[in-house]
Every structure is written in C-alpha cells, then in structure tokens.
Chain A
Amino acid sequence: MKVLVCVKRVPFTGGKMVLAEDSMSLETRHLGFTISPHEECGVEEAVRLIEANGGESVVLTLGPPAAVEQLRDAMAIGIDRAIHLQTDGAEWDPEATAAAIVEAVGADESASGPFDLVFFGNESADSGGFQVGLRVAFALARPCVTGLKGVRAEGASVRCEQEADGGRDVYVVPLPAVLTVKEGLNLPRYPSVPGRLRAGRKPVAVSTPARPAARLELVKLVVPAGQGRRAEVLGNGPSAAPAVVEMMRKIGVL
C-alpha cells in the first residue's frame, strides 16, 4: 500500500491573534509552529495503515523552507519520506495550492507508483478553505470523502465514517481515493527520541513551484472586535461558591 498525507505548517496562536505590521499575516516571531490539528490525525492514520498493511507512506507540504520542521515531525512518528514544495512564505490560494499538489502527485506516481490513499485535513486551521483536498481529488478523477472520523481499508475499497445527525454516515469507496479527515479520527502518538533521530536521515525531495496569480486574493487580515467582556470577579477560592450559585439563579440555569 502507498499512502500520501498532505499537511500545512500553521502557528500555535495561543491566547490572542497579533498581526504583523503589514496586516498580511500573523506576527509569529514569538510563536511555535505545528501541523494543522486535523492533519496530525491524517499523519497518524497513514502511519497506522502502513504498519498494518506494509508499503510506503509519504508526507507533502507546500510552505516556506522552515516547514521542513513539520515534515520531520511527521517522519518522526513513522512517515517514510517527504515532498517539500517550497514557497517564499507568501500565501497561496486554494486553487494554486491544489494545482501544485496535483502536479507533485503526478510526478511521484510516475516515478514510484500510484498512491492508494491521499489524506488531507478537512480544512486548514488557519485559512479554513475546506477545498484543497476536493480540488486535488477532482483533478485526479478519484472519489473523495470528507470530514472523516473513521477510516478502514477493506481490500480494494475503504470504509469511511463521518459524523452526521447525531450519529455517523458511512461511505464505501473504491481505491484509489482521497480522504479528508478530522481531529478525533485517532489519537496521534508523540514522536520518540529514536523516531526523531531516524527522521533526520529520511529523504526530503525539494522543489520550488512558481506561484500563479491568486483568484482569491488576500487584501488584509483583521482581528475581530473582542466581545469587550472583562470578567466580573465573583470571588477568590471556594468561598466564592455562594456567589456563583446566586449568579446561576439570576441567569436562570438553576
């Protein structure tokens, strides 16, 4: 089995959003970076599938040179190799991102055979476009099931579960397929020290695709007006309990 998982480098935003001077990005000088949470589960699922079925897992990102950190993180928990579509840090719109991924998938498949499954996050944590995986699937003429919290490979097909109407909707689609997943699909493992050491030696294929003009063009970012709430302190420690209960009665939940 050959599995690809596509990930995006995003900042840990912490308690509040602070913009860079030009308002075109977040001020990230004091922030760490991670893989979008949904995609962390995609990485874990890809690793589990290869552990169970044998084969090869590959991680791909489109992002700045520093995004190699996220590729190494994925390889530290068991992904075999990485594809880095390097950018200068400027944001790519979803159409351009999908097109670059389609091209990279095509090149990799010509060189080393088709992917049975390609994983994406249901939406990125930052721009939240909900569309790159579906665009890639359409271009590759493969079925795509979205928002998955359950994935089970069953021979030539894959059984997919999506939360819906208080339960789960089930889809069964033939391989090869593209799946977009959500956090909760699994509990991603933490990388081990030997895993980290091995990751440093795994191959990363770097290319620098040209960025096409955006049809969805970012003009500027805006931090939404806060709700302006400054908490009313009901007390300190357990002696505040009567005041809390009084508040609950006042707002009608007791």
Chain B
Amino acid sequence: MIAAVLVLVEHAGGKAADPSLQTLTLARSFGSPVHALVVGAAVDLSAHGVAVTHVPQDEALDSFAPDAWAAILGELAGRLDAGAIFAAGTERGNEVMARVAARSNLPLATNCIAVSAGDPVTLTRQRWGGSLLEEARMYTPRPLITVAPHTIPIEPATREAKVERFTPQLKEQELVVRVVEHVAAAGGGVSLAEAKVVVSGGRGVGSKEGFAIIEELAALLGGAVGCSRVVTSAGWRPHSDQVGQTGTKISPDLYIAAGISGATQHMAGCKGAKRILAINADPEAPIMQNADYAVVGDLKEIVPAISAEVRKLK
C-alpha cells in the first residue's frame, strides 16, 4: 500500500458530491490513510474512510480560484508526503488537477475507471467521452489521477475523521484567475441535464421548424428538448440543447431519440439514460444497438401520433 493518499473533495449544499465519494472509494483501494482536502466548508466524510479532512481558511477562497486550489493541493501533498493525489473527473476536478500537474511537472491521468498502485502505475481511462477505453502505464513518483464520474460504485467505510483547519500561504499570481461574478441562468423550462424525459431530434427532423413536433411531445411529457450535434452545427437549435460528448450529458428515465443515427459523439451524452426509445426510418441505424425500444418509420408521422395518444390520457 502507498502511504497517505490525498483526495480533493468537491461539495454542494453541505454534502460531498457523489463523484468525489466515488473517487474516495477508488482512492482507499490505492493507499492508506486517506486525507481529504475540502475548500469552503468542512463536510462530514466519516462514512467514507477519510482519516483527516483538511480545510484551508482564507477569505480569498470565497470565490473559486483554480490556481489557488492547485497550489494548496500541491503544498498539502508535499507536507503529507502523499503517495498519490486523486480528484473526481469533473470540470473542476480535471481543471485543478491539470494545474497541479503543470506546477509539479508530473504526468496526470484523467477520467480513470481503474487504477493499480505500482511502478509504473497501471490504469484504465476513458477516451472519446467513454466510448473507448485506454489501458495505460504512468511513470511517476506521485500519481495524479482523476476518476471518471459514475463509473465506480460508492462503498461506505466508517472511520473517525479528524478535521484540520489551516491557513494557506497564497501568492498574488495564484489569485489572478478567479471568479469575479456569477450570472444566473435565465431560467424557465426543464433543465436538460435534470429532466426525467428528454425528447431529441436529429438530422431526420429536417429543419428548424421541424422541431415543433419534438417540442410538443416534450411539453406533453413534462420533459426537455434535446438534439444531436448535426442540429446545432446547422443552427436549428442552440448549443445548450445538444446532447453529446461536446454537449450536455443527460440521465433521464426515458430518452426519445427521433431521427438520430446514434454516432458515438451522441451516445457519449445519453448513455446515462435508463431507457432509450429510438424513432428512425433506418432499422439498421447504429442507435438500434444502443436503444431499448424502437419504432421504425417516418418521425414526422410517428411523433405527432405519440403526442395524440398521450393527449388522450389527459
């Protein structure tokens, strides 16, 4: 076992975020004891096998400053002589760890789904938003690893967690990049990422106007409208509607994909859906290999027919 593993734990609403708890589960199999760095407020990690929770105290940390986080994480790893540093493969986790990697001149493996200690470290990581896996070796005195969200089940482990507060020594240049303002979203409608039902259209919808039938069905089901990358590239829908590797990752109970072929770019965004219904004129479209249900035919007839049938129930 590697001595002392340090994990960056993200949190919201007073609770650790699930991807961070998944990361703690993987980190525990890698080394011991597990230390956590929590910026902002201490969260209770005693159910997740953390020996010490380190909480930096500095007003400068009230707004997110990624270089400061990286400096603190790197400094703490040095002080603890940590054998590895982990973070969740979230936007922030990947960003902060890349900054740690640059500052400490060490390699970084992002979005890992499996890691084994050793020299070299052996690991499996995601490529193409999870559509492909890479087995790799990392040669490094201190492995830097981020863990792909929702690939490792959270396993609780009870341990008394000490909380240690400390004042970091931050340099001016570590606060140059910091959030100076937060602009709230315009609001209205169901958020694509949170929707229980998402109805998406692809190239098969044919035009911007063609989305009226998609919007109608989504509204009837209390869901959100999505689309494929072809649609946003054509300017038919805003990018905020895009489901995919470079768009929004969704996890609805039901995903209805109309006129979408199912390119890997798209499937990387909707693989979190519990069920997928594909509506497609081509019974051999790749999406048929990844869907639970299919209706074969012209979506311009099928989607309104489903809407009419739903309306009968209301």
Contact = CB atoms under 8 A, between A and B. Distances in A.
Interface of A: 13-17, 26, 37-38, 93-95, 98, 123, 125-131, 134-135, 137-139, 143-147, 161, 164-174, 182-184, 187-188, 215-224, 226-227, 229-242, 244-245, 247-248, 251-254
Contact of A183 (B124, B132, B246, B298): B246
A40 to B, nearest CB: 9
Contacts of B289: 16, 226, 229-231
B155 interface: no
A191 B263 CA distance: 24
B77 interface: no
Contacts of B308: 241
B193 to A, nearest CB: 9
28 contacts: A15-B261, A15-B286, A17-B128, A17-B131, A127-B127, A127-B134, A135-B101, A146-B91, A164-B179, A165-B182, A166-B184, A166-B191, A169-B64, A169-B181, A171-B178, A171-B180, A172-B180, A173-B177, A216-B108, A219-B122, A219-B137, A229-B291, A231-B291, A232-B293, A235-B295, A244-B295, A244-B306, A245-B313
A233 B166 CA distance: 60
Main secondary structure of the interface of A (DSSP, over half): mixed
A139 B290 contact: no
Contact of B297 (A129, A134, A237): A237
B119 interface: no
A128 B107 contact: no
4 closest A-B pairs (Cβ-Cβ)? Answer: A15-B286, A184-B239, A238-B305, A138-B102
Nearest to B64: A169
A218 to B, nearest CB: 6
A16 B103 contact: no
B183 A167 contact: yes
B158 interface: no
Interface string B103-136: 1001111110000000010101011111111111
A93 to B, nearest CB: 7
A30 B191 CA distance: 38
Contact of A167 (B107, B140, B184, B233): B184
Interface residues of B, number: 97
B194 to A, nearest CB: 9
Contacts of B135: 218-222
Contacts of A172: 180
B263 A13 contact: yes
Nearest to A160: B177
Which of B103, B132, B136, B180 has the most chain A CB atoms closer than 10 A to its own CB? B132
B164 interface: no
Given A125-B246, A126-B128, A217-B136, A232 B229 contact: no
Given A226-B289, A251-B253, A184 B242 contact: yes
Contact of A215 (B140, B185, B283, B301): B140
B295 A236 contact: yes
B139 A171 contact: no
Given A168-B183, A221-B132, A253 B293 contact: no
Contacts of A167: 182-185
A13 B180 contact: no
Given A237-B298, A244-B309, A251-B254, A224 B182 contact: no
B32 interface: no
A172 B304 CA distance: 47
Contacts of A170: 179-183
Contacts of B139: 215, 217
Contacts of B197: 253
B24 interface: no
B176 A143 contact: yes
B291 A135 contact: no
A231 B263 contact: no
Contacts of B124: 222
Contacts of B294: 231-234
Contacts of A229: 276, 289-292
Interface stretch (B38-46, B53-61, B78-86, B92-100): B92-100
Contacts of A248: 221, 254, 310
A231 B292 contact: yes
Contacts of A137: 102
A17 B45 CA distance: 39
A182 B108 contact: no
Given A130-B95, A224-B133, A253-B196, 12 more contacts: A37-B229, A138-B99, A146-B91, A184-B240, A215-B107, A217-B136, A219-B134, A224-B130, A233-B293, A236-B296, A244-B295, A247-B293
A166 B102 CA distance: 29
A190 to B, nearest CB: 9
Nearest to B288: A231
B246 A224 contact: no
A248 B109 CA distance: 41
